[in-house]
Amino acid sequence: MRAMVITPDGGLAPADLPTPEPGPGEVLVEVAAAGVNRADLLQLQGLHPPPPGAAEHPGLEVSGRIAALGEGVDGWGVGDEVCALLDGGGYASHAIARADTLLRVPDGVSLVDAAALPEAMATVWSNLVHVAGLSATDNTGRTVLVHGGSGGIGTTAIQLLRATGAVVLTTAGGPARVARCEALGAYGIDHRSEDFVERAREATGERGVDVVLDVVGAKYLDRNLRALAPHGRLVVIGMQKGTTGELDLSRVLSRWLSIHGTVLRRRPPEEKAAIVADLCERAWRYLDRGEVRPVVQDRLPLVEAAEAHRMMADGEVFGKVLLLP
């Protein structure tokens, strides 16, 4: 198979590797497209290694057709069109996926664009519903601040929250990105020129938001807490602007706030399987009904993976970039 492997200097290069064989409970996917995520950039820097036993080359999500079944796989057949959450190895013509992390391609979504869904949907759903305690069906009256609304996670979160009735505020950089976030259903805040704490409090009658979904990290810690309503929850899923911040515990205690941090890739296999099962049961309906759609900026050949990483690092991407073998 053809794959993009990590070079000793932290770059990417094409290589021919043996096509893997699926083990018990696994399938081999002939890849139609692979999603690019910030975690892939971190892996090249040695900051986000794959779990033991996973492929060493990047790629946390793919779409494609099942090429072979491992022992004990039920409910799927060779030729089935799927998208899948991976531990690694998606930047390739073929990838191994556990059968319990497979998802069917939603109605109205192309096989290629389905590669933009597994990582974003699993991250958004697990953090907003399982961690933040939002409803899977009706969030009328709830307010959520989503940082990084123009990214793959942000565009998915905005749509899913709006589909369940929540009021969504989101930060983005520059008027053009703010406008595109607003077109998805959010109240846009330009973090370059506006104070998101003031905007959040104005929009909620000084109460604050119920949940903050944060990809920024330490730089926003204090302001995120000030933006929360009493009993609010801050869910941190990224550290783009630092890992260490100062915490005012009096604000946390006096307003009954809670802070949560999660990383999807390092969850045990059984937890990932449970998230995917819940996506199938309760979240995929929003995709089938067209209320949530993958937002894809570009589709590049797999050999241009380094260019996709540059686009993401430079902030040029709105939504997702996909790599096509």
Judge contact between 293 and 155, C-beta under 8 A: no
Closest CA to 60 of 93, 37, 31, 30: 37
Q: What is the pLDDT of residue 51?
A: 87
Beta bridge partners of 151: 319
Question: Mind listing the pLDDT tens digit for each residue in 115-162?
Answer: 999 999 999 999 999 999 999 999 999 999 999 999 999 999 999 999
Round to whole Å and give the CA distance between 266 and 254.
Answer: 33
Task: Give mean pLDDT, residues 272-290.
Answer: 98
Task: Give mean pLDDT, residues 37-41.
Answer: 95
Q: What is the mean pLDDT of the chain?
A: 96
Judge contact between 260 and 234, C-beta under 8 A: yes
CA atoms within 13 A on the CB side of 102: 24
User: Looking at the whole model, is its pTM more than 0.85?
Assistant: yes
Domains of the chain: 2-117+294-324 (3.90.180.10), 121-261 (3.40.50.720)
- CA 48 to each of CA 54, 88, 147: distance values in angstroms, whole numbers, following the listed order: 13, 11, 21
Tokens linked to 21: 């064989």
Round to whole Å and give the CA distance between 125 and 235.
Answer: 12
Q: What is the pLDDT of residue 49?
A: 87
Q: Is the pLDDT of residue 47 over 90?
A: no
Question: Mind listing the pLDDT tens digit for each residue in 63-121?
Answer: 999 999 999 999 999 999 999 999 999 999 999 999 999 999 999 999 999 999 999 99
- CA 267 to each of CA 24, 84, 298: distance values in angstroms, whole numbers, following the listed order: 20, 16, 29
Q: Is the pLDDT of residue 172 over 90?
A: yes
Round to whole Å and give the CA distance between 303 and 3.
Answer: 9
Q: What is the pLDDT of residue 153?
A: 97
Residue 169 phi, psi (nearest 5): -110, 145
Round to whole Å and give the CA distance between 319 and 115.
Answer: 12
Query: Pairing between strand 209-214 and 143-146?
Result: parallel
Question: Mind listing the pLDDT tens digit for each residue in 188-206?
Answer: 999 999 999 999 999 999 9
